[in-house]
Structures are given as structure tokens and as C-alpha cells.
Chains A and B, each alone.
Chain A
Amino acid sequence: MKVIYILWLRQLKRYFRSKARIIGSLGQPLLFFLALGFGFGPIYTKAGGGDYIQFLAPGIITMSVLFTATFSGIEVLWDRRFGFLKETLVAPVSRLRIMLGRTFGSATVAVLQGLIVFGLSVIIGFRPTTMALMPLALFYMILIAITFTALGTAIASLIEDMQGFQIIINFLIMPLFFLSGALFPLENLPKAVVVISTLNPLAYGVDGLRGTLIGTVHFGLLTDFLVLSAMAMLVLMTGAYLFSRIEV
């Protein structure tokens, strides 16, 4: 337990010690709020969808959790060559514990990042319809964070170089994000898009977060929870396996 704890703690310490990174990472969500929120807002309202910022905010929060979580994989790549991770690989500690400690640490960072963006969205004008479901919203964020941190770790365990990682991430994460319903409602879409979205685990994360924050759901909160939990477990197990196979 102690090993998992210190590896978790290490991720948090690194996060809090790089203030520049925290501030810098707010740029992208802010841009999305301004460009999409204020850009498409009037059209969305005119089409009868209501306040677009209300709809968009859970999507943007999901986005920042998703990106922070997945990109932590880069740190694995880097760290196994030039960092503490290499140190841990020769320590008499099971790889599973190393992987779990790291993953939970990076996932916690991703959730913190999501909470900061939540704060940002409130400043911009987002108002959750009920506060009672906030703990549940946090829970969905945690599930998204764990799933995609583990995914980043899994990919980083397979890939040797940074470029390769970035290419895979771009081809995987961008479509996952754009087809998750984060930016537009999944209702009344072409069949193909609906099918893809249904297969997209992130869509359940977005739906869960939107359901708990503003009360509109597409799949239903229980479905979201079940799919996302199953996904988190599956990716975590795959990630742990691949991580245990890392050679230097």
C-alpha cells in the first residue's frame, strides 16, 4: 500500500510544483468555451436547444480530464528512460503496484484539472441545475480519468518513441472526443454516428457528467455507470498487463 501511496503522492507533488503547467492547461478549455460556446451559442438557442454553455460545459470538463489523463502516458515514456520510473522498475516491488500508484496519481491530477475547468465554466456562466448530484459527477470524472490514464499507460508501454505515441493519441483521442457528444447532442444524428457513439466509452462519461450536472441524459445514468466502470476495469487490467511486460 505504501508503495502505491508514494507513487500517487509523487504525481501530485509534481503537479502542484509546476504552476506553469496548471495555468497553461487552462488555455485549451478556455478557447473551446469562447470559440464554441459563444460562437455556436446563438445558433443552438435559435434551434431550440436552450443555453449552449449549459450543454457544453460538461463536455469541456470531460475534455480536460480526457486530455490530461491520456497525455500522462507521455510521462511514462519519458520517465522510463530518464526518470524515477526506471528506478521503480528495478525495485523489489510488483509492477502492478507501480502501475496502480502511477495511474491513480495521474488520474487524480486529471480530476483536479477537471475541477479547475468546472470552476472556470462557472465563471463563464455555467450553472449546474442541482448541487445534490455533485458527488456523483465527481465520481464520473474519476471513472473517466482512470480509464484514460490507464489507456495512456497501456499505449506508452507498447510504444518506444514519443512521435509514435503522439500519432496514436491523435488518431484515437480526437475521434473519441469529437464523437462523444461532448460538443453536440447525440439525438437525431445519422445512424453511423449514433452507432460509433454508442461504442465510444467516452460518450458514457460525457453523458454521466451531463446527467448529473444539468439533468439531461442520453443513455441513462445507470448505463453510463455500468459501461464506464466495466471499461475502467478492462483498460486498467490491460494497462497493468502491458506495463508489467515493459523492458528497457
Chain B
Amino acid sequence: MGDQDIIIVQELTKTFNGLTAVDRISFSVRTGEIFAFLGPNGAGKSTTINMLTTLLRPTSGSISMNGHDPTKDPHRVRQTFGIVFQDPSVDEDLTARENMEYHAILYGISKEIRTRRIEELLKIVELWDRGNDFVKKYSGGMKRRLEIARGLLHHPRILFLDEPTLGLDPQTRNLIWNYIKGLNQSEHITVFLTTHYMEEAERVANRIAIIDHGRIVVQGTPEELKAQTGTDSLEGAFIALTGHDIRDEESSHLQHMRERRKIFMKRRR
């Protein structure tokens, strides 16, 4: 692990009421790479992301995000990353531009820069014409694009994408990945992503770590993973490593709320 590692995780552990969600994992993400963090449902992906992004305090272990410790210096860490959450976090009662404006103010971006960047980003994600519409009128793909634009507004060094293409059609998925790849190349933003679509991970990721039952099973380039398991696709490698069992996520409050949200959103339309 050298200076080129922007995220360094060592022996990271998180237990909830005696249940170990993340079990002494260690990995590192190199500056400027696209890193895919894969695993079945309930494997510990979101818990890990929450710890990296200062939303959850680790039980033990250490994290370095661009040289800062999220538990000791959350402020500095928060400045270095942008995130697109698995659950939507745009305000539907505000317009796209208001969402962007508020984000910029939260990150202390001055008015001139803010105005310019918002226009720039909304144009890139092709939402500029609809910028003054309320977000509740947007389709799922449009909301995702808005969240990605917002996550980039403060020019983060690391961009977290927690299942950014979940529930989107192939066209939108394609657009989003092309955009992320372009950004990674032109702006040298490190991308940390999770996804359930293996072919997407295979296509965009430089390196991959697979987590299961809270432990990292394997990490390496897609080619290394395939060679190691003797399979010809990442999906094959993934199943070879994590088995065929279907994981039932325990019904949690979050799950209930997601269900309610679905019903609620349908009614609103």
C-alpha cells in the first residue's frame, strides 16, 4: 500500500448487537481507479460504504480516506467525497436547480462557481432544459442523473456510487456508465461503486473486491478473478466464489420504509 492509495481500509469491523456485519476486512483503492465492491444482498456492502462516508462508526479497525480518518476528522473526509446513495436523496418538492443550489451552499461553493458548475453539470446529464421542474415530475433515470450531477458539484476526489443503475432501463444505464467512465478519465476522480449487474462491473471496473458474509473473499482485476476461478465471465466468477444460495435479507425497518415509499410514490402520480 503506497502513496497512490486514496482509500486504505485495515481490519475494519462493524457489529450490530453481537451480529458481525463486516468482519475484519482490509482493502485499498488506488487514486484514479474505478473500484467495484461486489457481493450478494446483506454481505456488508452498504455497511462498509456507510463507515467510509462517516455515517456509521466502525466497531474496530482503521480507515484512511485521502489521508484522513472518518472517525477523527469527519469534516475533512466529507469534503473529499461525493455520494450517490442507493435510496434516492434528492428533495422531490424542490426543483433540480434548487437541489443543486442547496448542495453547493452546503459545500461552501461561492456563487459564481456555483452558477457556472450547476449549468455545466445539468447540461452534461441532459437535465438543463428541465432544471426548473420539480423533481417529483422526473422519471427514475432522470432522478439518478440529477443525483450523480449533484454528487460531482463540489469536485470530489472520490465518488461513491451505491447501486447507481438499480431499476433503470439499459439505455439510461449505458448513458450513466459512459458518463462515469468519461469523468474518471477526464477529471481523475476515483470511483467506488457497488452493483448487482456483473457485466457492468466487468465493463467499467479496473479492480474488484467481492465481499460475502462480511468478509472479503477475493480482490483483483476482472481478469484475475476469472482466471482464478476458471470461469469466462465475472458473473461466473461471482457465483463460483459466493455460491448459489439465495440470500434473504432480513425484513428490516428500512425494508418496510422502502415498501411504503413505493406505495406512496405511486399514489402521488
List the interface of chain A (C-beta within 8 A of B).
2-3, 6, 10, 13-14, 17-18, 78, 81-84, 86-93, 160-162, 247-248
- Distance of A91 Cα from B156 Cα, bound (Å): 11
Contact A92 B107 (CB under 8 A): yes
* 21 residue pairs bridging A and B, Cβ less than 8 Å apart: A3-B105, A6-B101, A13-B94, A14-B93, A17-B134, A82-B87, A82-B88, A83-B89, A84-B90, A84-B102, A90-B78, A91-B103, A92-B76, A160-B253, A161-B256, A161-B257, A162-B256, A162-B260, A247-B50, A247-B55, A248-B50
Contact B79 A247 (CB under 8 A): no
Q: Is B106 an interface residue (CB 8 A)?
A: yes
- Distance of A231 Cα from B153 Cα, bound (Å): 40
Q: Nearest 5 pairs between A and B by C-beta?
A: A91-B106, A84-B91, A92-B78, A161-B253, A248-B55
Q: Is B54 an interface residue (CB 8 A)?
A: yes
A18 to chain B: closest residue by CB: B93
A89 to chain B: closest residue by CB: B55
- Distance of A78 Cα from B54 Cα, bound (Å): 20
Q: Is B124 an interface residue (CB 8 A)?
A: no
List the interface of chain B (C-beta within 8 A of A).
50, 53-57, 75-76, 78-79, 81, 83, 85, 87-91, 93-94, 98-99, 101-103, 105-108, 134, 150, 253-254, 256-257, 260-261
Contact B254 A90 (CB under 8 A): no
B54 to chain A: closest residue by CB: A90
Given A84-B90, A84-B94, A92-B108: 17 more A-B contacts, CB < 8 Å? A14-B91, A14-B93, A14-B94, A82-B261, A83-B89, A86-B87, A87-B106, A87-B150, A90-B83, A91-B103, A91-B106, A91-B107, A92-B76, A92-B107, A93-B106, A160-B253, A247-B50
Contact A91 B87 (CB under 8 A): no
Contact A83 B91 (CB under 8 A): yes
B78: which A residues are within 8 A, CB to CB?
90-92
- Distance of A37 Cα from B41 Cα, bound (Å): 56
A97 to chain B: closest residue by CB: B106
- Distance of A161 Cα from B259 Cα, bound (Å): 13
B51 to chain A: closest residue by CB: A247
A2: which B residues are within 8 A, CB to CB?
105
A161: which B residues are within 8 A, CB to CB?
253, 256-257
- Distance of A74 Cα from B166 Cα, bound (Å): 27
Contact A81 B257 (CB under 8 A): yes
- Distance of A81 Cα from B210 Cα, bound (Å): 26
B102 to chain A: closest residue by CB: A6
A6: which B residues are within 8 A, CB to CB?
101-102, 105-106
A18: which B residues are within 8 A, CB to CB?
93
B75 to chain A: closest residue by CB: A92
Q: A2-B105, A90-B54, A91-B107 are in contact. Are A10 and B88 (CB under 8 A)?
A: no
Distance from A79 Cβ to chain B, minimum over Cβ atoms (Å): 8
- Distance of A13 Cα from B87 Cα, bound (Å): 23
- Distance of A247 Cα from B254 Cα, bound (Å): 13
Contact B103 A87 (CB under 8 A): yes
Per a CB cutoff under 8 Å, which of B76, B93, B107 touches A13? B93
A87: which B residues are within 8 A, CB to CB?
89-90, 103, 106, 150
B87: which A residues are within 8 A, CB to CB?
81-82, 86
Distance from A138 Cβ to chain B, minimum over Cβ atoms (Å): 27
Contact B93 A247 (CB under 8 A): no
Distance from B149 Cβ to chain A, minimum over Cβ atoms (Å): 13
Distance from B101 Cβ to chain A, minimum over Cβ atoms (Å): 8
- Distance of A81 Cα from B252 Cα, bound (Å): 13
B103: which A residues are within 8 A, CB to CB?
87, 91
B54: which A residues are within 8 A, CB to CB?
90
B76: which A residues are within 8 A, CB to CB?
92
- Distance of A138 Cα from B224 Cα, bound (Å): 69
